[in-house]
Every structure is written in C-alpha cells, then in structure tokens.
Structure 1
Amino acid sequence: MTTTADGRVALVTGAGGGIGAAIAARLHEQGHRVALLDLDGDAVTDLSGALDPHGRTALAVRADVTDPHALGAALRAVRTTWHAPDILVNNAARTAAGSVWDVTVEEWDAVMATNLRSVLALTRLCAPAMRERGWGRVVNLVSLAGQQGGTLAGPHYAAAKAGVLVLTKVFARELAAHGVTVNALAPAAVHTAAVARLGASAVAAAARTIPVGRMGRPSEVAALVAYLVSEDGGYVTGATFDINGGAHMR
C-alpha cells in the first residue's frame, strides 16, 4: 500500500482503546499523521504519547461526539495542527444492553447520538475539504448487530448501526465523483478489554459460536481499514465489509 511522502492526516474517533486504538496505531505505522479523538482524554493522551513522544505525528483530542460544538472545536484543532483530515474513521460507539420494551426515550436518543448522528455530523464536517482536494477516505465501523438485528448490545445500538450502513451508501454516492470513498466495516465479536471483562468462560462460549473458532483481533480490523484508506482502495466505495469469522455469510 502506498502513502504520500509525509502521510495523510487521519482522524479516528473512539481511539482511546480497543478497535479504535488499533486503527489509530496501524494508520500511524503506515506513515499517516493521526488525530485520536475520544471522550477519555487521558486514554488518547497516553496513546498519542506512545505513538509519537515528540507530538509531531500524533494528536490527542478530547471530545464528546454527541456535542456538535465539541466536534467543531476538534476539527479546528486538527486543522490548526496540520490540515483538515484526509481520512475519517467513525469508530466511536455506545452500547446499552436491555430489552426493546425497556429502553427509555432518553437512552434511545443518547445511543443514537453517539452511534449514528456523530457519523452524519463528522462526515459533513470533514468531507467538504476532501471533496475540494479531490481525495478522501471515510470508513464507518458498523456491526453484525446492524445487519442481523442482534440486541445483545441493545436494540438502539443495532438500529443505529443499521442506519450507519445506509448513511454510508448515501455519502458514497454523493462523493464518489470527487475522489472520496465511503465504506463500512461490520465486525462480529472482537477480543478487546471490554470483552475480556466478561470472563474467560463467557469468551470461550462466544468463540464456539463463530465458525473459525475464535474471536477477532483488533489488529485484523485495523488492517482492513488500512487497505480501504490507501491509494489501492480507491475503486471501493459504498461497500460493507464483513469481518466476523464466518458468523454471517452472504
């Protein structure tokens, strides 16, 4: 995969841990300058410092993706440090387990704001500069739940991720003629710290339901993102990539 001499500028949301941290690290390894955005400011500060102790190619940005003003300020910080992002990875997510009969309207709106509205807001903030430059990449992290209607992470989470699948196609059509691709990745169970907290027996039981016999690794998701944001990924847009160990085949 090829990159420009000084690397593109990438913005990764939910970069404080798990899949988001793996994506940020992989893009930085590929030579990109990476802005790591998360509500947990300490987590992204620690990771950006580990990636680049000198602070030249990694930038920690604390922001709540449900707050439009915070997102605007975050984009201004990235532009001031480097320039408007060439690459946007919408990874920030919120889950809230519970029955569809028990979800409150307030919780529904909060989960939708994190998982769906933030994708709309950030893409509309970042895409105009990509369109003007004639090059850009947007990758949205969705979920097997959004494809199959699974409710383990909450019915509102599944509904929001299904919405992101459609929004991915809408933006892909709008931006395709301008050298900007928009794609989605739909992981199933991926072994993160949050999953590990469920306990070894629960993790083993979940792995047995996956045809390949194990959970995914964050690095595997990050590798697919790295391809999609590369020069070689320019002919792929409006697509949803399954990365689920065979849990959902089509």
Structure 2
Amino acid sequence: MTTINLSGRTALVTGAAGGLGAAVAETLHNAGAQVALLDQDSEANRHTATRIGDSAVAITADLADLTQLDRAHREAVERLGTIDILVNNAAMAPMNGLWEIEPAEWDAVFAVNVRASFFLTRTVAEGMRTRGFGRVVNIASLSGQKARPTSVHYGVSKAALIAMTRNFALDLAAHGVTVNAVAPGMIETPMVHTIGKQKMAELAADIPVGRIAEPTEVADLVCFLAGDTGAFITGATYDINGGVLMR
C-alpha cells in the first residue's frame, strides 16, 4: 500500500479548531504537510495548532465575511507559502425545521457553507492552476443527498457544495488540480455529543455497520485525496456513512 507523503506541501483547512476539521489538519500534518488552521474561535484554534505541532499555524477569521476571508488567505500564504491543498470544512448546521427557518438564518448558513467555500476555492485555485498542482477537498454531507426533518438549509447547502465541486473539477482538470467532495454521515464529534447518549445510541442502531464514524476515518480519506494517490480522481463525491446511503 502506498504511503501518503505530503512533505513540502502546504494545506489550508477551514473550521479546524475542533471536531472533524482538527482531525483533518492533524492527519495532513502527520503526513508531512504544513497546515494553516482557519477558524473564528481564536482560542480553540490556537490550542489545536499548538497541539498539532510547530508547522501548524492558527489564523482567525469569520468565513461569512469575505474581507476577513481574503485577509486570512493572505496571512496563510505569508506565514507558510503557497497553498497546495485546500479543505473546505467549516459549516453551520442550525437544527430548525423546514417551517421555522428565517431568512437571516438561511443566508447565514449559505454564507459559510457555500459562499465562503466558493470564493476561497476560486482565490486559492488561481495559484494552483498557475503552478500546475493543487488539491481541493470539500466536506459535504449525507444531508446533501438524503432528506432529513431538521436543518434543511444545511442539507441544501451541502448539495450545492457537491454541485460546486463538479464545476470546479471540470474547469481545473487540465491544470493538474483535482477537486473532490467527501460526504460523511454521523461522526463522533463534540457537536454530536450534545444530543445525548441515548439519542446517539438510537442513531447508531440505524447505521448498517452499527456505529458512528471516528473523525480520523474521514480525515484519512481526505488525506488520500490530497496526496499523489488522488491524482486521477476529480469531480467525485465519496460517501463515508456506514451504509446509510448505498449507490
């Protein structure tokens, strides 16, 4: 089996202060990449970067603010150099039902989950295209492929992210840049723990493999796509949901 070696590469991971984003940043770092962790929670982000190691840097920004997003990208380049790998992981997932979502909440979800990913990808991919190498991995979701009773705007935004993945992949394929999406089901993160052990057990029972995924399992897939191992894969969406959705 080929060992994934990201030595000499630089990665930018959004929403990296904790949960899946932190696991992705650490996995990429362990494979040899320098990593910029982008998150609006400055304290947690600094703590995670310190825990990961010296070649991980914390950058604070609100992704809903395009001015801050642009500044964060410039800071990442100034501190680590050109960005070879971009992981669009940051997301909002309010739990309101279809009839309770207000316009402001809808707009806020799309500002982070779709708009920020689009404009950050376009900014970073411009340099990737010029250099002839790049990897973009968008963290989508099972919710973007399967209806659920709450957080409808989250699901719709993740479906949009999957469509965006294909469009960027088509545009950049001839330039050595791959763009893929990873669509996890339920992952063992602090956010999931807020629903309580009983509810977690009920949800796990509905997953064919009988358990919730570890963040590292998703992070390993992202790392695979970020390396030379993913050179001939683009425009794809990888399901990692324990068999909840089979196709």
TM tier, smaller: over 0.9
Counterparts of 1:42-191 in structure 2 under 5 Å?
42-52=43-53, 55=54, 57-152=55-150, 154-191=151-188
RMSD: 1.0
CA distance in 2, matches of 1:190, 1:178: 34
Structure 1 length as normaliser, TM-score?
0.96
Counterparts of 1:34-49 in structure 2 under 5 Å?
34-49=35-50
Specify the alignment match of 1:243 in structure 2: 240
Specify the alignment match of 1:3 in structure 2: 5
CA distance in 2, matches of 1:224, 1:46: 24
After TM superposition, give the deviation of residue 136 of structure 1 in Å: 0.2
CA distance in 2, matches of 1:159, 1:2: 33
CA distance in 2, matches of 1:198, 1:105: 26
What letter corresponds to residue 49 of structure 1 in structure 2?
Answer: T
Counterparts of 1:174-213 in structure 2 under 5 Å?
174-213=171-210
CA distance in 2, matches of 1:151, 1:220: 27
What letter corresponds to residue 45 of structure 1 in structure 2?
Answer: R
Paired residue secondary structure (1:182): strand
After TM superposition, give the deviation of residue 245 of structure 1 in Å: 0.2
Specify the alignment match of 1:224 in structure 2: 221
CA contact (8 A) 1:75 1:84 kept: no
CA distance in 2, matches of 1:133, 1:94: 32
CA contact (8 A) 1:15 1:36 kept: yes
CA contact (8 A) 2:137 2:182 kept: yes
CA distance in 2, matches of 1:150, 1:163: 16
What letter corresponds to residue 21 of structure 1 in structure 2?
Answer: A
After TM superposition, give the deviation of residue 98 of structure 1 in Å: 1.6
Structure 2 length as normaliser, TM-score?
0.97
CA distance in 2, matches of 1:228, 1:187: 15
The superposition leaves residues 129-156 of structure 1 with CA deviations (integer Å, 9 ceiling, x where unpaired) of 100110000000011110012243x111
After TM superposition, give the deviation of residue 2 of structure 1 in Å: 4.2
What letter corresponds to residue 234 of structure 1 in structure 2?
Answer: A
What letter corresponds to residue 239 of structure 1 in structure 2?
Answer: A
CA distance in 2, matches of 1:2, 1:95: 32
CA distance in 1, matches of 2:24, 2:69: 20
After TM superposition, give the deviation of residue 201 of structure 1 in Å: 0.8
| 4+ residue segments displaced more than 4 Å | none
After TM superposition, give the deviation of residue 78 of structure 1 in Å: 1.1
Count of residues in Structure 1 that have an aligned counterpart in Structure 2: 245
CA distance in 2, matches of 1:150, 1:179: 37
Unaligned runs of 5+ in 1: none
